[in-house]
Structure 1
Amino acid sequence: MLIYTADKRRFVEHVQHNQIEDRILAGMLGAGKGKPSPNEITSWRNSMQYMENVLSASGIPDDAGVAIEYMIPQTSKRVDFILTGRNDDGRDTAVIVELKQWEQVEATEKDAIVRTFVGGKEREVTHPSYQAWSYAALLEDYNETVQTDGIGLHPCAYLHNSVSGAISDARYHEHLERAPAFLKADAEKLARFLGQHVRKGDTNDILYRVEHGRIRPSKSLADHLASLLQGNAEFVMVDDQKLVFESALELSDIAEGHSKQVLIVEGGPGTGKSVVAVNLLGELTRREKVAQYVTRNAAPRAVYEARLTGTMKKSRISNLFRSSGAFHQTDADTFDTLLVDEAHRLNEKSGIFQNLGENQTKEIINAARTAVFFLDEDQRIHWKDTGSREEIERWAQAAGATVHYAELRSQFRCAGSDGYLAWLDQALQIRETANEDLDELDYSVEVVDSPTAMRDRIFALNVHANRARMLAGYCWDWESKKDGQAMDIRFPEHDFAMQWNLDKDGSTWMIQPDSVHQIGCIHTSQGLELDYVGVIIGPDLIVRDGKVITVPEARSKNDASIKGYKKALKEDPDAARAKADRIIKNTYRTLMSRGMKGCLIWSADAETHAYFRALIGQHTPEPQSAPAEAAPADVLPFEKMAPEEVEPFVNALPVVPIKAAAGSFSDLQTVDQNPDAFDWVMPPDFITPQPGMFIAQVVGESMNRRIANGAWCLFRAPGGGTREGKIVLVQHRDINDPDTGASFTIKRYHSEKTADPDTEWRHQRIILKPESSLPGYESIILEEDSASELVVVGEYVAQLEH
């Protein structure tokens, strides 16, 4: 996603006129990414001044492209600065610049890790050259356009406040070779580096093509496990992942000559816990250390072992992947390192009857010199789950171990959307978050009309890669286990009947080619991932008057997840209900976060179904006799300023009545000469008024994924340079807007150009694209002759109020 784009000339102007941070901020808000911290806004102001100095002093052409805060697809990572154009050979190129405000930097013994003052304290962080290279590698991995169009990526880092030579320490030679780092005194060197790769302007819309390029399917850990264990770099570890990886390796070395070491790594779904754990397993094994991957969940172990069958002996596979209950008779320090994935699922005792050993956490710490626990307490989904930070700390202290902490925050599931996981917490009422809706999130969430519709969609989504499945809360008895012809989950009114995952597949159900015809549960899906997941919410979670209520009694008698609830209910009812409530909500949070690309939701309970539809902004069809929905209120959410208070474009902006479906926008050209023709308001604090800006109300649903119906929005006058990929307000005689009937509309702008001997190029056609969650909105296409008559009235900046 592009937050800020311009050509070099406009970028320089924005910096020189002290507008750059406001424009980046407006882009962030317009994309629904929330308001950044004051420190981040200050960093934009400072860093972009340095980049403007470098670009102004270079020979880089004015029509080179500039992008700031580009969001890498499928991740939560943002690239600070991209410069695009063509090299001497005419090849499209993009230079990725990682910007740092650090002053002092210290080298460490860890690969690609340095120490500096950041976030209020001295911390270990990834070397900026490694960071820039890893972002380039991610972009190449995920964006098919970069490879198919041969776009050259050239990463580098610019520490414009630093004079520290430690950044160029010989220990980082490999990373500096892949992405050079430039210090405060290296502005001219950076300018030469940029000029070496960008000799000509970006006339091929590189940024637009990258932004709208086809996104490659995300890699599955299970599918690439064998290659990874053979030493191949299948997954690029970025930022916090690389830091955890190197820290674990260091602790494994320290433990050989010192006391036991325990590392607690906390991270939510999709932050790469399993990827880091398996990478560590491969690296420790290559270093001839005795290491094992440990998890209580049978499904991941079974899937990994199935994927490795044929690549190594079964005995070796068994020695690499173990159950958490396998260490109650293990001698102390038998292993160099144990890597405990899904540590929140650890139990107190082991064995089928929970009668072996004393405590799994204690036994794992005892069995290894170094124990690494990957933990997410929001995925505790069983009554007997005891894995927690407090529990690990208690047993580590008893063993005399030194405890270390790390966190994984980079999101690689749910299309890299931290916002979706925050929305889940809000929707399930696990905790309040800032994400009350899914506007602007690049993750597909849909409440389907029936289980039949969900099944059909999942079947269709599964055809390409066998990575779409239906899951459900465990609220239906497993009758098909004894009777292979029985249907477990039935909704006769929808002509729907399916079985739970087949007993013959066991824990490998998720990867079996025909298992799309069954429904999985938490026990066969936790710890694994899909492209798309369809989740049937059972009667154990319902909504009444807007409150999410859990009903433990609605769970199937076959489900052992809350076995112990009835006994606990007699002893301490409040505590028992609170624990069951968290288990059920955690279960659905886990199920609904298995998809890397999207989630479909359905509930048989009408009120629950309506609750989720409302949360994602879908509209439940009304009966034909229902009155039409009222038009959005046109009451100004801003106080009108008295004429004597108004200083046009200094403390006030005009409100332009574009909602009326008539007239021309010629009046906009006379605002300066005739300010009395408009109402003037004081904009919000985060907006700095500038000539040409105006506020207007947007009507209709054609852009509801970006702009709500009835929203008051900020626009700016169209400037020079490309409009490619921007949301624009336009007018044309051939436009008949479906929402207003007017000759103007607000859409995403895309143009296709052709060479012209007189003007170098001309518009072959212009496409105005809607971005709506509702059907019926189609692109407006203006062919060559009429494209030239299109008038761009304003560029959308941000939604202010709704």
Structure 2
Amino acid sequence: MIVYSATKAEFRADVVANRVADKVREAVYLMLGRRTADSEFASWQNSLLYMNNVLLDEEIPEETGVAIEYGIPTTSKRIDFLLTGQDEGGRDTMVIVELKQWSEVSASDLPDCVTTILGGGLQSVPHPSYQAYSYATLLRDFNEEVYSTDVTLAPCCYLHNCDSSAILKAPSFEHLTVDAPIFLRSDAAALAEFIRRHVKTGDRGALLYRIDQGRIRPSKQLAEHLVGLLQGNRSFVLIDEQKLVYERSLERVAKAIPEGRKKQVVIVEGGPGTGKSVVAVNLLVALVGERELNAQYVTNNSAPRAVYKETLAGETKKARIEALFSGSGSYIETAPNTFDCLVVDEAHRLAEKSGLYKNLGNNQIAEIVRAARSAIFFVDDRQQVTLRDIGDRESIAQIARGLGAETTSLELASQFRCNGSDAYLAWLDHVLQIESTAHTDLDGIDFDFRVCESPNELRDLIRVRNEGRNKSRLVAGYCWPWDSKKDSRAMDVVIPEHDFEMQWNFADHGGLWILQEESVEQIGCIHTCQGLELDYVGVILGPDLVVRDGEVVTDATERATYDSSVRGIKKMLKENPVEARAIADRIVKNTYRTLMSRGMRGCYVFSVDPETNEWLRAAVNRSFLDKKKVAPGVAGATEPEEAPSKSDAPLPFLTPAEAESSKRAVPFYDLAVAAGLFSEEQTASAEEWVELPGDFNFASDLFLTRVVGESMNRRVPNGSYCLFKARPAGTRQNRIVLVQHRDIADPEHGGRFTLKRYTSEVQVGEDGRPRKRVVLRPESDDPAFEPIVIEDEDDERFQVLAELVAVLH
């Protein structure tokens, strides 16, 4: 977007009349709808005087085009100063000048960065030559007018208040300054010579207007470069259903591309470790690199963007792919259908408001859907970890349909993290009391989970695991202040009773903290590791989650004031305490669930609360189950010789009056669920009720019934009374479920039931469309039992009724 444009002569006249900064400020307000801060206005007044002095050179043509604060289309990037014309051979040329007010610069330990004073303190920032080069690369790779007409782009930077070149022109930055020369206070004549070399004839800004109207599409060179980045990279190989989701998503995008076609929105659900980010990055490469479409990878959290930019760039300059990655708040003012596709990773972290102060825009989901012909959202409702997170599956679908989009739902179910164990995640849900599951212990789960006696033991374990691969880190709940952000000598996570102190992740590392070799000596949080994975993760549980008398109790007010994820909770607690506590409870539990599922091979934990740490240690062994008085129903459990009578039920039956008054009454269905072939037709009735023990979280969708048969005797002994959760949400993969199949029986007779472990396999049908084939697997000591196969999950005769929560007797 052009904010201010003129010829050199007109610009100089505006400077002499002391009106150029006023003109820019007025244009910014009229065209961008924002007011200019006094500091920014002062910087224009200062820098533009210096540029006027450079343009006093009479050999720079009077008709040279001049632009100030040029907004690069489809981005939030703005170029400080531009000059346009033709070079000696008549070739269109644009000189890009990055202006800086800095007077002092020092070294930074980050690549391609320097340190200067910003916002009242020292901060690491990109080298100005890198900034200028990145703007040129952005135009060269994405603006069709630039790459198709062979426009020359000449980036440079001008630090008119700075005298020292020792750091800025150091040999370590030569790879930047050779492409984008740097000019200091004493280099005004050299900058004028640089401009004269590239602009021999003025064009009155004609090139600028052509570029501003240029079609935004990736160049062929960028496309080929991007495809090459993934070739041979094993981290991004698609496996099984990941490939299916990838192909189906591309199919939906293609459907939306022709002008006038209906918007397409794809919602991909998947838990931790199912490969959401792997598929997302592959889609980005396919869309931009193979199909040459205008697409971006989008997240709210900056850490995944930073890591994947670093991973993909490799030895090349990250500026080449910078524009492919964007924050979710970047589309507030984007015109409808500007992009062919936006690939939104970690979509559960989308928010209503954007900007530093969360006061811009209305709804990031709606803004993204409007901005693109198609959008692909990767979501996991159980990874919403702040009060601002609004990106659940239903909300995305509802907003998309409201904006006229056709929606498609896909699922990634297979687990590739936590040693591929869905059972570990189910156990986590049970232990954190997010929901009751059948996985009440770690038996048979090939995942290294340990509870440490001290934070020092935890740190030592992670240090050992980190040797060689640099893929193990410490993380913690955000319950300690970030003092080291302002004082590099201060310690943050301090646990005095264990003589333990460490710092939070360095602010300078930003989203790349998880990749830095020295970061094993710091502690990360949810904001620096969500969406990423490690070999081993060490988790410190803070006072925001404790266990009292076997019940997990959360308190979001124990979070540090630095943590913005629960900002506003105290006000909510005053206005609606019941709802606020429920929301805060979910956020705290989801946070620790997310932290404890970052590891591919193992998770080690320590709680600062002694009772909680001891309870977690007990949860790892069988004494935890004895305490709960719940028989696990796994291999080795005692099996009754015959099915027990109802009088042997493990829970007391209630009278009708007792059931009506009880707040923990769950129905008992008098159906003999067959743990074998589908049972004879039976009708489920809820004429009797039982009292749910205090060890279980009450939910209205729980019920009790009895299971007969030997096909699941390794988990559920014949005749056991079992607690079930009706209408289970989310993935069913590898869960033990109660299913019904309405074969040829009269529907009035109720149908047929069985209990099995659910697995699904994607197969391509004769019509070429994929469908899920369901296999219900027995877990029995008797090898005669065979799996039951349902050829099509969508078969209307087949229905998953409930998920096993616990075996009670």
Tell me the TM-score normalised to structure 1 length: 0.50
| Bigger radius of gyration among the two | 2
